[in-house]
Amino acid sequence: MKNADDPILKCQNCQLPLEIDSSLLDLSLAQRDMLVNFSNDYSPSTYKIPNDRLQRLNKVVSPTELNLQSSVLDSYVFLQGSSNEETSTNQTSLDTSAQTTFREEDSGDEPDENQPSHPTARTLSTQVTALANVFNVLSSKTNIDYPVCEDCCNILIQRLRSEYDDAIKERDTYKQFLSRIEKQKIISSSDSPDVTSEEINRLKNEREELFQELLQLEQQDEDLDEEIAVLEADLELKKQHEEKELKKKNIEDLEQLEFSKEVRSLKNQYELTLNNLDKLRKINIYNETFKISHEGPFGVINGLRIGGFDNATVPWNEINAALGQIILLLATISARLKMKLEGYKLQPMGSFSTISKFNQESQEWETYDVFSNENFKLGRFLRKETNFDKAMESILSVIQQMALWLSRSAAETNEIFSNSSRNDVGLDLPYLMHKDKINGNSVKLFGAKPNMEWTIAMKFLLTNAKWLLAYSSSRLV
């Protein structure tokens, strides 16, 4: 019975377990060295044995001629001899190995319980392990993995035999080819030896010429490489110069673009400024400063109404401010046109403006208030003329005097209108003014509250003032 722990050798080709022959299990050290150290590279031409050693080898006595006594301790095996001698020798070696094993076990202090009880099993395992090592060494030195079974060995032998036959055929082919070449050389050398020498000389000369040409070409190649290097350096410098020029040109183009943008922006600003200037030139600053219009029955100057009646009352603060704007308008026209009013002085002071009139009888200036309030006045019952009424009548006189002055000034500068021949009448205003009435409506209140008649009279007054401003605006600019 084999132990389960014993190593099992398998065929390295078919992986089937092998049964080891007993002769392989009892190899001596010399046999192992012979198997391990063998080589296929031996050839008589390479390895030569000196003569002295050959003589010594011939003097060696054959082991069969030796008369040796058998000993129990002998463990070697003679490789030469008859089969009976080999069998007896192998048996002796096995016995000797067994005895040696028994001695090693008896020399121990105490037996190991885990070790197998039969000494032969341990010896067999050790021998198989050693044999496996031998197979590993053989496999590393050859192209065949050991061990192999008999069938696989036969297959390997057939394959090696076929390879050997192929090699023999290839050798014969090369040999025939070599012999043919040698025959051709012999024939060519025997037929024309002089021609061959001449041909050799010619070939030598040709080779020398080709060699010189090769040297020239190599020198030319080196010169071309140097020239290429110089040209590449020049090309690199040109590229750098071109890059600098391109950068400079790009910067100039960018500056030119920015400059053109700035010029276009300035042109746009200039055109916009010109347009605004044209608009400002077309704008009459006096018309914008004194905006005169109407809202129903009310005359309006700069948003301030003048007048009032029962259904729509206007506070005196608004009326006084509107009258102050009228005084400011008349004073501005007379001042800008350097118009000298005869017998009147305008004093614009907002809601508390006044107008002065020269009294021919007393030779003094009388000042009238161009504003009023809601205080009770006794004159309203007696229909007595108040200071405010005199101021309103003076405003009508000033407007008539300014219209007459503008008519005379137009006649002197040949600015003739359709009715300029009527210089005694003056500028034709929309509504006729005479003393304290305008278009038949009185501008006096006699201390009473504003009514519809006075409201319409103020509307007509503002209309005439607007015409006066429009006529004089060409001279005021």
Per-residue pLDDT at 51: 79
User: H-helix or E-strand containing 226?
Assistant: helix 193-282
Average pLDDT over residues 109-131: 53
Quick check: 98 pLDDT over 50?
Answer: no
Please provide the DSSP assignment of 18-65 as one string: ----HHHHT--HHHHHHHHS--S---TTT----HHHHHHHHTPPPGGG
Q: Which of 467, 381, 393 is nearest to 435 (CA)?
A: 393
What Å distances lie between residue 70 and 66, 67, 96, 385, CA to CA?
A: 12, 10, 11, 187
Read off the pLDDT of residues 209-259 as tens digits, 9 standing for 90 and up: 999 999 999 999 999 999 999 999 999 999 999 999 999 999 999 999 999
Tokens of residue 191, six digits: 């037929």
CA distance 124 to 209: 79
CA distance 324 to 35: 145
CA distance 224 to 323: 107
Instruction: Please state which of the ranges 86-95, 198-207, 228-237, 249-258 shows the lowest mean pLDDT.
Output: 86-95
In 373-438, beta strands by DSSP E: 433-434, 437-438
Average pLDDT over residues 294-317: 88
Per-residue pLDDT at 145: 75
Per-residue pLDDT at 74: 44
> Which residues on neighbouring strands pair with residue 306, listed in sequence order?
299
Tokens of residue 343, six digits: 């017998």
Average pLDDT over residues 294-305: 90
CA distance 65 to 76: 17
Residue-range domain boundaries for the chain = 22-148, 286-476
CA distance 320 to 304: 9
State what percent of residues in the chain have pLDDT above 70: 72
Per-residue pLDDT at 196: 66
Tokens of residue 358, six digits: 């020269």
Top pLDDT among 100 and 274 is at 274
* pTM (predicted TM-score): 0.45
What Å distances lie between residue 55 and 46, 97, 406, CA to CA?
A: 20, 37, 169
**Architecture label for domain 286-476:** Orthogonal Bundle (1.10)
Q: Is 128 exposed, middle or buried (0-12, 13-18, 19+ CB in 10 A)?
A: middle
Average pLDDT over residues 420-439: 71
Confidence category of residue 423, pLDDT binned at 50, 70, 90: very low
| Residues in contact with 247: Cβ distance below 8 Å, sequence separation at least 6, in sequence order | none
Tokens of residue 23, six digits: 């002769």
State what percent of residues in the chain have pLDDT above 90: 31
Q: Which amino acid is at 386?
A: T
Quick check: 72 pLDDT over 70?
Answer: no
Quick check: 14 pLDDT over 90?
Answer: no
Top pLDDT among 419 and 236 is at 236
Per-residue pLDDT at 379: 53
Helix or strand or coil: residue 308?
coil
Quick check: 329 pLDDT over 70?
Answer: yes
> Which residues on neighbouring strands pair with residue 15, listed in sequence order?
none
Considering the chain, what is the average pLDDT of its residues? 77
Read off the pLDDT of residues 453-474 as tens digits, 9 standing for 90 and up: 999 999 999 999 999 888 887 7
Read off the pLDDT of residues 336-383 as tens digits, 9 standing for 90 and up: 888 888 889 999 998 999 999 988 888 889 999 999 876 645 555 566
Per-residue pLDDT at 436: 86
CA distance 294 to 308: 13
Per DSSP, 462 falls in state: H
Quick check: 144 pLDDT over 70?
Answer: yes
Average pLDDT over residues 284-297: 85
Per-residue pLDDT at 84: 41
Read off the pLDDT of residues 116-125 as tens digits, 9 standing for 90 and up: 444 444 466 7
Per-residue pLDDT at 209: 93
* Residues 30 and 19 sit within 8 Å (Cβ to Cβ): no
Alpha helices (H) in 109-149, listed in sequence order: 119-141
Confidence category of residue 319, pLDDT binned at 50, 70, 90: very high
Quick check: 19 pLDDT over 70?
Answer: yes
